[in-house]
Structures are given as C-alpha cells and as structure tokens.
C-alpha cells in the first residue's frame, strides 16, 4: 500500500502475541546447543572436506565440534528439528521426507501450513531423487550459483517429500547452501532437509544462533552455532519456464542482474508487485515469503521513500510527533543520514551505495528495535536495483507494506 505524503496511523500498543496464532500446543523441549564455530576456522585453514575425513589433529575442540555436528545430524535422522547456519540466515531443519518432522517445524514456528518450505541438499545428485525434470536453463543456473543463495522451484517427484513441504503444490523448492557447516550437516543427516528460517513466524529472520535461541528455545531439538551468517537475507527463489524464462518469486541473495548474465530472459512474478499486507484472498504461494507479513518487529514500522532531503524531513517530523505521543522511537537509516535523526534508538544500515552491508544488518536491527522496546519505527527506503530489491522486499514485508512516498517520488 503506497500513499503520497499521508501519515500512517501508528499505535503504542505492541502487536498481539504470535503465540495466539498457534493451533497446537507444543510441549517443552530441551534444546541442545552445539557450538561448532571452531570448524569454520579449520575450514578457512584447510577446507573441511568430508565430515568423515576432516583433519582433527589440531586438538580436542575440533573433535568435539565434529562429534556435535554428527549428534545434530542424528537428531534430524530421528525426526527432530535442528536449527543450523547457512550463508543467508539460520534455518530450522527437519527430514523433508517425514510428515511428522515437517509438522514439528510448522508448530515450532507457528507457521501457516499453506506456505511451502525449501528443501536443502548437499550434493547435486540428491536433486534427481526429488524432482522429475531439470531443464537446460535450470542446469545453467545451478552451475553458476550452487552452492549459494539461489532456490529453484522444480516439478516434484511424487512421494519424494512430505506433502507438507510442498503445501499441496506439484513443485518443490530446492537449494544447496554455501556454508560448510550446513553442507556437512545435511550430508551427515543423509536426507533432504526442509528448512525455513529458524524464527517464530512473522519475526525477523535470525542471523545469529542467539536469535534462534531467543525465538525457539524449548520448542526445537537443537541449535548448531556456526557464528554469524554472511548474506543476511534469504535466498532468491526462481522458477524456470519451458521457454527458459526465469521468473523471480522472491528476491534475495542472487540479484536479477546476476540471473540475467546466465538466462536469456528474467521476469518478476506479478504477485510480488500486487501482494497485500496480509495475504488475505491471495492465491496459494508458490514460494516461501510470497504471503503474509514477515520479518516484523513488535513495534509499528513504516518505510519512507523519496529524495533524501524529503525523506529526512518527513522522518524527523514524524519522530518528533511520535515522541510527543509518548512513543519509544527507532530509526533504520543509512550511514550518510543516520546522525541527523533524533530518536531513542538509531540503527545504521551502512552506506546506501553498499547494500550488501544493509542486507547483513537488517534483521539484527529489527530485532534490536524489540530489545530497545521501540513502539514507533521508521526506515529509510533504498534503491530497488541489485540487492536493493531483496532489502526493500524484506523491509516492506516487515512493515506490512506501509510505504510512505514523499516529494512526489515514485518507486524506482
């Protein structure tokens, strides 16, 4: 929803508890914590290789971390839920073949069941057991971007995964993460791993193990702590047509420009441009993130777009009015402008010209708004080119599509 120079109705009341949206009661679990960060140092030095053959001569810490990773993999094989790091955000993994395991993911997250899940694999040959067809363009995309933050929606092989993974669709979303811990965990689990982001549904996605623990401690089997994630926003989700057209269903870590270097034609799904704030009445989503408000802090959030001077003036005035109402205020701004704002908390997203940093910082900033008790939050918009498409998509989802356009500026 876009409105020219029109204030949004804000409230100091926090959003209703997301526990109220659950349809099942989850018994308290003991969530194991496996700290395997030492393996990342080993990987940087020598490469992790296969989990069975990693050099562990450096000491007992390496051996313990490897044993912990095997324990986490065993939990997945036994039908439990395990959070783990990828290069984008932390995922909450379960055996994609087991309906009971996948249902435990939905319950832990409080996630709507008509939202499909992404299946993670560790080797290319795992894909053949999951899908019936991979066309030439899809193969080219995998060669260019796997492992990496690209998810492909492909025709599902009947019976290959639980129907809860596909949400009743005839397709399945698959990716190969570019993170050594994720790849080793999936390989050790010896099964395809369905894994949405490891957060309560609607909350900002987790980029640290501590974020996962904050949301899901006592609700899942375990957390593999692999340190901070890299990209910060989720994978790009695409579907390749019979004619080779690549349609972006969700913008993410691979940009449209990067896809265009491989595919002859790249398009954006019309649902991305027309989706409403709550997804009510929209068709069943073909991709995670196409429906419902996501990534949201507890306080009311809006995004302001336009020429920098007009944006700064609008935000400054809105912050002053909110403070007079007794709101606790926060701003997500780019480094060039952050110092001019007067709010209870100001979070820099880095330079506006370097949106990779904004992607890495975004979810942590949204979570910090909650830590600061912010009830009124304003975010500067960014360019929608390149990675900016993903950053703006997540910001608008977090804001329930509350976009303020100032200075007669139209979306770029």
CB 277 within 8 A of CB 293: yes
pLDDT given at position 278: 43
Determine the Cα–Cα distance for residues 135 and 373; give it in Å rounded to an integer. 49
Tens-place pLDDT, residues 339-387: 999 999 999 999 999 999 999 999 999 999 999 999 999 999 999 999 9
pLDDT given at position 255: 97
pLDDT given at position 202: 84
Block means of pLDDT (10 residues each) for the chain, 412 residues, are 39 38 54 94 54 50 92 98 98 98 95 86 97 97 98 98 95 97 97 96 93 96 96 96 95 97 95 55 50 77 96 97 97 95 97 96 96 97 95 94 82 44
pLDDT given at position 340: 95
pTM across the whole model: 0.86
Token readout for 300 is 């009311």
Tens-place pLDDT, residues 272-303: 866 544 444 444 455 555 454 568 899 999 99
pLDDT given at position 44: 60
Coil, strand or helix: which one is 90?
strand
Nearest to 377 by CA among 11, 3, 16: 11
pLDDT given at position 43: 64
Buried b (16+ CB within 10 A) or exposed e, 357-388: bbbbbbbbbbbbbbebebbbbbbbbbebebbb
pLDDT given at position 23: 36
């Amino acid at each position: 929803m876009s409105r020219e120079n029109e204030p949004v109705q804000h409230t100091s009341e926090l959003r209703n508890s997301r526990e109220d949206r659950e349809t099942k009661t989850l018994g308290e679990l003991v969530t194991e914590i496996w700290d395997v960060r030492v393996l990342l140092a080993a990987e940087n030095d020598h490469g992790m290789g296969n989990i069975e053959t990693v050099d562990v001569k450096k000491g007992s810490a390496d051996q313990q971390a490897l044993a912990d990773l095997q324990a986490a993999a065993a939990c997945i094989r036994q039908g439990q839920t395990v959070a783990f790091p990828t290069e984008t955000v932390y995922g909450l993994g379960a055996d994609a073949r087991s309906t009971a395991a996948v249902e435990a993911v939905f319950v832990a997250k409080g996630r709507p069941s008509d939202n499909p899940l992404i299946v993670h694999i560790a080797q290319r040959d795992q894909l053949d057991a999951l899908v019936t067809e991979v066309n030439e363009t899809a193969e080219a995309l995998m060669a260019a971007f796997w492992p990496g933050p690209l998810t492909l929606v492909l025709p599902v092989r009947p019976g290959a995964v639980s129907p809860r993974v596909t949400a009743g669709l005839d397709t399945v979303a698959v990716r190969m993460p570019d993170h050594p811990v994720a790849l080793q965990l999936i390989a050790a689990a010896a099964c395809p791993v369905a894994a949405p982001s490891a957060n309560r549904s609607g909350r900002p996605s987790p980029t640290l193990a501590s974020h996962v623990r904050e949301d899901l401690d006592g609700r899942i089997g375990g957390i593999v702590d692999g340190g901070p994630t890299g990209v910060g926003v989720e994978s790009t989700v695409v579907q390749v047509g019979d004619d080779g057209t690549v349609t972006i269903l969700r913008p993410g870590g691979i940009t449209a420009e990067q896809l265009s270097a491989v595919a002859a034609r790249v398009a954006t799904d019309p649902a991305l441009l027309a989706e409403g704030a709550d997804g009510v009445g929209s068709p069943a989503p073909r991709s995670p993130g196409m429906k419902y408000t996501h990534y949201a802090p507890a306080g009311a959030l809006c995004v302001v777009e336009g020429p920098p001077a007009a944006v700064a003036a609008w935000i400054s005035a809105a912050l002053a009015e909110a403070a007079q109402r007794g709101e606790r205020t926060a701003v997500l701004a780019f480094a060039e402008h952050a110092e001019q704002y007067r709010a209870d908390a100001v979070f820099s997203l880095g330079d506006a010209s370097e949106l990779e940093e904004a992607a890495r910082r975004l979810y942590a900033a949204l979570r910090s708004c909650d830590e600061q008790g912010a009830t009124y939050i304003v975010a500067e918009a960014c360019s929608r080119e390149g990675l900016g498409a993903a950053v703006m998509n997540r910001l608008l989802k977090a804001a329930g599509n509350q976009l303020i356009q100032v200075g007669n500026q139209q979306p770029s």
